[in-house]
Structure 1
Amino acid sequence: MISYIMNTKNCMSVLLLSDRFDSFSFIGGEITTYCTFQIDGTYHPEFFADKEDAGSEPYVRWSYVREYCLSLIKGKQTPLRFHFILSLSPDQIEALLQRADLPYRSGDIKGLYLNFRFDGTRLLCTTGTSFHTFVQDKSLEHLWDGTVMKLFASKGLEFEENS
């Protein structure tokens, strides 16, 4: 787990105004402006009458809620705070495991997370890994932390490690 101090303006532009994180799963979030909006990213396929639109993933993609989050945040006043939890999608986790040749199956992993938290003055992003069972091996955690640094650089995010 590593925490990064993000350039707030740059990060918010990339996160909310571009499609660079649209393939990530949206686990949940909370935005506080004049009131607090809580968003659960759990996917409910029964909502769709057309079953072709119904996916099998447990969470919606960031692309489904990005515009809504932007509509809550944009305006003349800065939000008091917000928190977004994104994760690599199941297919991205599978691809990462195959490239790294680690001894895990995608079913072993609950998520590889990015926790974006704005407290009214600064924006932090903390990485996280979660397994379905207890695992002592930290190889996936180290791989994810290294991958996030490369990911941020490739997406044009400005950041520094929070020590």
Structure 2
Amino acid sequence: MREHEISEQKKLTTLLFAKEDFDEYLLVEAKVQTFATYHISGKIVKEYFDDEESRKESFCQWKKVRNLCYDMVKGKKLPISFTIVLRLSSSMLLQWLKNQDIDNHLVDGKSFFVNIYYREKRLYVVSGMASETFGLDKSVEKLWDDEVFRILSQLKVVA
């Protein structure tokens, strides 16, 4: 887990809420605090869908709720705070493993997250990994931390 303070807040929030850069990530949850507090669970309610295709992932894609979240944060006043927890989708994970030449079995039972939070006029991104089992080897977690920093650097939002 590594925390990055975002130096280019406007740019990252534009990429997050108004562009497609994060659309393929899965939304685990979002919380926005303005005059009221809004909570969104990204957990898919499988009974809602008729087709199997919509049931592949446990969480919805960020692009499905991005505009809703944008409507909550936009306006003349900045939100008091917001937290958005994104997770790598299965296809994104497979692509990342291929690019990093990581064996699939090393990530069995692991989930990879990008946590974005805004508080006290500061914006942060925290990389994270959750594992179903405890292990001493943190090499994959470090690779994920490095990948998130690489992405943020490529987007030119960190110093």
Q: Same fold (TM over 0.5)?
A: yes
CA distance in 2, matches of 1:106, 1:94: 12
> CA offset at residue 104 of structure 1?
4.5
Instruction: Call closer, same or farther: CA 1:141–1:105 in 2, change over 3 Å.
Output: same
Instruction: Call closer, same or farther: CA 1:56–1:78 in 2, change over 3 Å.
Output: same
In angstroms, what is the RMSD of aligned CA positions? Answer: 1.8
What are the equivalent positions in structure 2 for 1:3-82 lying under 5 Å apart? Answer: 3-6=3-6, 7-48=8-49, 50-51=50-51, 54-82=54-82
CA distance in 2, matches of 1:139, 1:101: 13
Instruction: Call closer, same or farther: CA 1:11–1:146 in 2, change over 3 Å.
Output: same
> CA offset at residue 100 of structure 1?
2.9
CA contact (8 A) 1:85 1:114 kept: yes
Match of 2:116 in 1: 116
Instruction: Call closer, same or farther: CA 1:26–1:44 in 2, change over 3 Å.
Output: same
Match of 1:2 in 2: 2
Match of 1:93 in 2: 93
CA distance in 2, matches of 1:109, 1:92: 16
CA contact (8 A) 1:108 1:133 kept: no
CA distance in 2, matches of 1:124, 1:43: 26
> CA offset at residue 109 of structure 1?
3.4
Letter in 2 for 1:108: D
Letter in 2 for 1:149: F
Structure 1, unaligned stretches of length 5 or more?
A: none
CA distance in 2, matches of 1:60, 1:158: 26
Residue by residue, what CA displacement relative to the aligned partner does 1:92-111 show, whole Å, maximum 9, x if unpaired? 11232233343453762331
> CA offset at residue 57 of structure 1?
0.4
Count of residue pairs brought into register by the alignment: 158
Give the 3-state SS of the residue equivalent to 1:105 in structure 2: helix
> CA offset at residue 64 of structure 1?
0.7
CA contact (8 A) 2:88 2:112 kept: yes
Give the 3-state SS of the residue equivalent to 1:145 in structure 2: helix
Give the 3-state SS of the residue equivalent to 2:116 in structure 1: strand
Instruction: Call closer, same or farther: CA 1:58–1:107 in 2, change over 3 Å.
Output: farther
> CA offset at residue 34 of structure 1?
0.7
> CA offset at residue 128 of structure 1?
0.5
Length-normalised TM-score, structure 2: 0.90
CA distance in 1, matches of 2:104, 2:116: 26
Letter in 2 for 1:117: Y
CA distance in 1, matches of 2:55, 2:5: 34
Instruction: Call closer, same or farther: CA 1:40–1:157 in 2, change over 3 Å.
Output: farther
Length-normalised TM-score, structure 1: 0.88
